Chain A
Amino acid sequence: MSQRITRVAGPAAQACDMASSFMGEVVKLGAMGLIGEVIRIEGDIATIQVYEDTTGLMPGDPVERSGEEFSVELGPGLLGSIFDGVQRPLQALASGWGNFISRGAQIPRLDRSAKWEFQPKVTLGQMVNGGAELGHVRETELINHKIMVPHGVSGEVAKVFAGARTIAQPVAELADGTPLYMRQKWNIRKPRPVGKRLPSTRPLVTGQRVIDSLFPIALGGAGIIPGGFGSGKTVLEQTIAKHSEARIIVYIGCGERGNEMADTLEQLRELSDPATGRPLMERTILIANTSNMPVAAREASIYTGVTIAEYYRDMGYDVVALADSSSRWAEALREISSRMEEIPGEEGYPTYLAGRLGAFYERAGKVAVAGRPEESGSLTIIGAVSPPGGDFSEPVTQASLRMASTFWGLDSQLAYQRHFPAINWRTSFSLTHRAMSRWFTENVGEKWPEMIAKTQAILQREEELEEIAQIVGADSMEERERSALEAGRIIREGYLRQSAVHPVDVCCPLPRQLKTLETILGFIAAMDAAVGRGALLEDIITSPLVERLLRLKEAPPEGLDSLIESLREEYKTFFDSLEEK
């Protein structure tokens, strides 16, 4: 073995005598055995991106080839865990190596000693293919983990071992002697196979009014959240992680703040699933590769996360993968590309940026599961984008825009006014809105599409009038027009604005969205009619009813219906009384 290091520059290293290596091969470098991956081969020189800090490596240090591509380990024990970008379990790393990330730690990715109660589904003599369900274990109180035959393996089941097993012990054996384990490996850069892609006709309900009502995302869709710093990307992603109706959440903290990861972790441990009362962490997997952790591992982190997400999709679950932030991933790509002295494209990013981003978002989708065509699962990918200077014309935002079916553009101006979620209703869009409208009519209400159209019209009208008001002054506007401005304000304050901390307001289920919006639109119509008949706007907006309407979203769910009922009656009486004046 004479492979050895010839050059080290930041996260990139080169090694000689590597002609028989292959792209993507995992290697170990130096005495510490730092993990890296081959990303270029020229003659017998291979360029390696190193997933750990390279300080201390020197030319002449040995390089050990593994013969394998970079893959993650999949099996029970993933849920509730927190991994770094190359799937090292951070909890175990902390217990064994202390408070700081240490290098060269050799540590199994999934716990080899934990026992899981395996309940078989297959019977002896049954023929199985890749993707077939062998049985399941109860991974957490919330989630059953299906044990599936790895892709590429098939045969007749000869033995089954029910009961408490570790992932190191086989749970079944095929007639040809092939043992089947509860764990399998998968190359992170290769999408897991699917049976068939299915059209997506229902939304991922997030509990966020502005999203679910105006810009819903499809189950299996791809959404992006671009926004300058401080516009609330991370809070929005955290909120979706906590309150959306997904069964499994994979949260990828890619090049972001350490304190934020601590925060996410803490919240998910404390918050409980409303249906079962179990901690939300039991349906969550966190990938944390913070901004000061090695840059090459940051590049890998989104693939690690999405591969784990696909694995749970293959069990038939609706999975959401949240990537915060895809821009940091793109920067890692740029840094490695520049160390390889590639010819850069736009703003120094490699020319393959758009291609890689596209391939990543394409891993989203609603599918018939490979090997079990009667079952379906979905993977929704939501990526935050951090455009420099908040300028959406930069390459990462633009490349992501082409891939995404849903776009939630965050606006610094709204954030400055503390209007959160700061989703700009003028620039955002949902391409799948139409495809889902049938679902909304059937599941939310007949009138829903009409109400949404009305809401958008009010916001549109407000925007036009604001422009006029800025030229001529609101004072010189007609009463009807000022009433339209007030309508816009009520929609913004009373409906679109939603607190991420208020115990009730933090999550608004769809039936409640319907009731709230109905009440608000009813008031606006009555106000408009009254002003049309000559009532003074001043008399309306100074009424305490407006304040109560704006606070409707904060009212506790118990007694909401009677509150709405009385509010409606009161404003009816109120407008009638205006009439009489």
Chain B
Amino acid sequence: MSRSIVTEYQTVDAVKGPLIFVRGIKGVSYGEMATIVTGPERSMLGQVIEISDKFAALQVFGPTRGISPATAVVRFHGEPIEMSLSPLILGRMFRGDGAPMDGAPPLIPAHRRDVSGSAINPVQRELPRDFMMTGVSAIDGLNTLARGQKLPIFSGAGLPSNELANLIINNAGLANQGLAGQGLAGQGLAGQTGKFALVFAGMGITGREADYFYNSFHQSGAIEHSVVFMNLAGDPVIERFITPRLALTAAEYLAFDLDYHVLVVLTDMTNYCNALREISSAREEIPGRRGYPGYMYTDLAGLYERAGRIRGKPGSITQLPILTMPDDDITHPIADLTGYITEGQIVLDRDLNRKGVFPPINALPSLSRLMDHAIGAKSTREDHRQLADQLYMLYARGVEQRRVASIIGEEGLTEEDRGYVRFADRFEKDFIHQGESRRDMEQTLAAGWALLEGIEDRDLVRVSRDMINKYRPQRGDDELDKDKQA
């Protein structure tokens, strides 16, 4: 596909939003990159998104302000967007378009790869089944993450998604470097001992957020095994279109060439989707729901599906995309399409946040689809599934009764129903809430069983008798009596 002669044109016909149209071109292919020179020392990158024998439409990764059809020169590269890769990429920071922002020179490439990636052949996929510790009870206990999974955080404006992401980054890194225990039975499992790397892609995030992550990476030393791409809120919107692709290409290189376990944090996907919408509207495409293009599902899948494991390769790519649900609406197209592609979701909740619960994870709509593969006697503990189901059942009932009580008043509830409400309160306070502390698997499961103390047998239908006898904390009769009196 690449040519030795670079073709240059000065035939820009129209500039529309983030798009430019070049006429009279020859020998240019779909998906090809181009440099648009708009003045001395001023140039930016663009990509061909439609081509015909009469014109080429390019999306420009930079501000189109200042581009004049009279003077702009478009130089086609003869190849799609590629990025340079080498093992020295670890520890580096780049802008959203891939230019270094840490003062160091550009990477000397050992490889160059097309950033749009290719689909992993489904038969070559290895099902993620290695438990990945996050140190967060609401995740490890109830919605366990597996290496190679993509599990987004559904957040809302003002909710502490960055703090949660940071907690997970630090804990996942720790667990992996052997500084802390793995799953209880997890030692020595394949894939649990490998090298850990973090790839961070910020899209349209504020300077404050960028500083928060930047400082945190430096403090924890995570920066040494990280690759950071930062597209800030003030940077060109269209640049966001390539930022996650650069990040994922770097992640694929680290995971499948260099055998790292890579955690990819993509934040904020809402800004990415808005960039997609902007491009679509500039192309005058027929909008789908809320103005987002009809192909947004396919486009997002092209990013999220780049998580996973490959047969015979020790590395993995785990994705933790963060998105802000506009108006906390989980049916908003961004959250909705993401949820249809990813393997579950962690949902943050405003009420819990107001109550001071951290992390404010609402367990009910949260889900990890790969949990069953990652837990159990071989990796975490035999009672894990049953305990999680039991906690879910009682919490769902408590939340329901809380709602009923808000209509008819607490007096209208039966004693039994009041018990469920009390359970829900304790669940949020003692299990979900953990502050900045980190719980290992043993502590998480213990916290769960502690909640089942004093629950009537008839409500313990999701845990077997054996498990109850083995794991539920035993208490003396006098203690129980004391409870009753209280």
Please measure, in the bound complex, the distance between the C-alpha atom of A263 and the C-alpha atom of B308, giving whole angstroms: 12
Let me know if B30 and A338 touch, CB within 8 A. Answer: no
* A249-285 at interface with B (beta carbon < 8 Å): 253, 255, 257-263, 265-266
Let me know if B389 and A56 touch, CB within 8 A. Answer: no
**How many residues belonging to B are interface residues under a CB distance threshold of 8 Å?**
85
Nearest to A32 among chain B residues (CB) is B1
A551 in complex: contacting residue of B26, B32, B122, B461, CB < 8 Å: B461
A/B interface sample: 7 pairs, CB < 8 A: A7-B52, A10-B50, A55-B31, A291-B297, A334-B294, A388-B331, A544-B458
Question: Chain A residues near B310 (CB, 8 Å)?
Answer: 99
Known A292-B301, A338-B294, A473-B413: A101·B125 in contact at CB below 8 Å: no
**How many residues belonging to A are interface residues under a CB distance threshold of 8 Å?**
79
A266 in complex: contacting residue of B127, B295, B343, B407, CB < 8 Å: B127
Let me know if A229 and B339 touch, CB within 8 A. Answer: yes
Question: Chain B residues near A228 (CB, 8 Å)?
Answer: 336, 339
Known A229-B339, A257-B343, A389-B331: A14·B52 in contact at CB below 8 Å: yes
Main secondary structure of the interface of B (DSSP, over half): mixed
Let me know if B297 and A328 touch, CB within 8 A. Answer: yes
Let me know if B289 and A347 touch, CB within 8 A. Answer: yes
Let me know if B294 and A101 touch, CB within 8 A. Answer: no
Please measure, in the bound complex, the distance between the C-alpha atom of A474 and the C-alpha atom of B415, giving whole angstroms: 10
B382 part of interface (Cβ distance < 8 Å): no
Please measure, in the bound complex, the distance between the C-alpha atom of A313 and the C-alpha atom of B392, giving whole angstroms: 43
Let me know if A94 and B121 touch, CB within 8 A. Answer: yes
Question: Chain A residues near B404 (CB, 8 Å)?
Answer: 469-470, 473
Known A56-B1, A99-B310, A347-B289: A261·B30 in contact at CB below 8 Å: no
Let me know if A476 and B286 touch, CB within 8 A. Answer: no
Question: Chain A residues near B28 (CB, 8 Å)?
Answer: 58
Known A7-B53, A265-B122, A542-B456: A230·B331 in contact at CB below 8 Å: no
Q: Output the residue of A58, A470, A544 with the most chain B CB within 10 A.
A: A58
Please measure, in the bound complex, the distance between the C-alpha atom of A168 and the C-alpha atom of B53, giving whole angstroms: 42
Please measure, in the bound complex, the distance between the C-alpha atom of A347 and the C-alpha atom of B1, giving whole angstroms: 38
Let me know if B407 and A470 touch, CB within 8 A. Answer: yes
Let me know if B340 and A229 touch, CB within 8 A. Answer: yes
6 interchain residue pairs of minimum CB distance: A473-B412, A389-B331, A291-B301, A55-B31, A7-B52, A58-B29
Let me know if A293 and B119 touch, CB within 8 A. Answer: yes
Known A54-B30, A262-B126: A335·B294 in contact at CB below 8 Å: yes
Known A99-B310, A101-B118: A418·B289 in contact at CB below 8 Å: no
Please measure, in the bound complex, the distance between the C-alpha atom of A546 and the C-alpha atom of B116, giving whole angstroms: 57
Question: Chain A residues near B122 (CB, 8 Å)?
Answer: 82, 90, 253, 258, 261-262, 265, 288, 290
Please measure, in the bound complex, the distance between the C-alpha atom of A258 and the C-alpha atom of B120, giving whole angstroms: 8
Let me know if A348 and B120 touch, CB within 8 A. Answer: no
Nearest to A233 among chain B residues (CB) is B340
B107 part of interface (Cβ distance < 8 Å): no
B370 part of interface (Cβ distance < 8 Å): yes
Give chain B's interface residues, CB within 8 Å of chain A.
1, 26-32, 49-53, 80, 114, 116, 118-128, 148-149, 256, 285-289, 294-295, 297-298, 301-302, 305-306, 308, 310-311, 313, 330-333, 336-337, 339-341, 343-345, 364-365, 367, 369-370, 372-373, 385, 389, 392-393, 396-397, 404, 407-409, 411-414, 417, 456-458, 461
Q: Known contacts A265-B123, A546-B458; can you find 14 more A-B pairs with CB under 8 A? A: A99-B310, A100-B119, A102-B118, A259-B149, A265-B122, A293-B119, A295-B295, A388-B289, A389-B331, A418-B393, A470-B408, A473-B414, A474-B413, A550-B461
A331 part of interface (Cβ distance < 8 Å): yes
Known A335-B295, A473-B413: A230·B124 in contact at CB below 8 Å: no
Q: Output the residue of B27, B125, B457 with the most chain A CB within 10 A.
A: B125
Please measure, in the bound complex, the distance between the C-alpha atom of A462 and the C-alpha atom of B358, giving whole angstroms: 37
Question: Chain B residues near A53 (CB, 8 Å)?
Answer: 118
Question: Chain B residues near A93 (CB, 8 Å)?
Answer: 121
* A466-517 at interface with B (beta carbon < 8 Å): 469-476, 493, 501
Let me know if B29 and A56 touch, CB within 8 A. Answer: yes
Question: Chain B residues near A335 (CB, 8 Å)?
Answer: 294-295, 298
Let me know if A58 and B27 touch, CB within 8 A. Answer: yes
Let me know if B457 and A471 touch, CB within 8 A. Answer: no
Please measure, in the bound complex, the distance between the C-alpha atom of A572 and the C-alpha atom of B313, giving whole angstroms: 60
Please measure, in the bound complex, the distance between the C-alpha atom of A230 and the C-alpha atom of B339, giving whole angstroms: 8
Nearest to A499 among chain B residues (CB) is B389
Let me know if B305 and A472 touch, CB within 8 A. Answer: no
Min CB gap B55→A, angstroms: 10
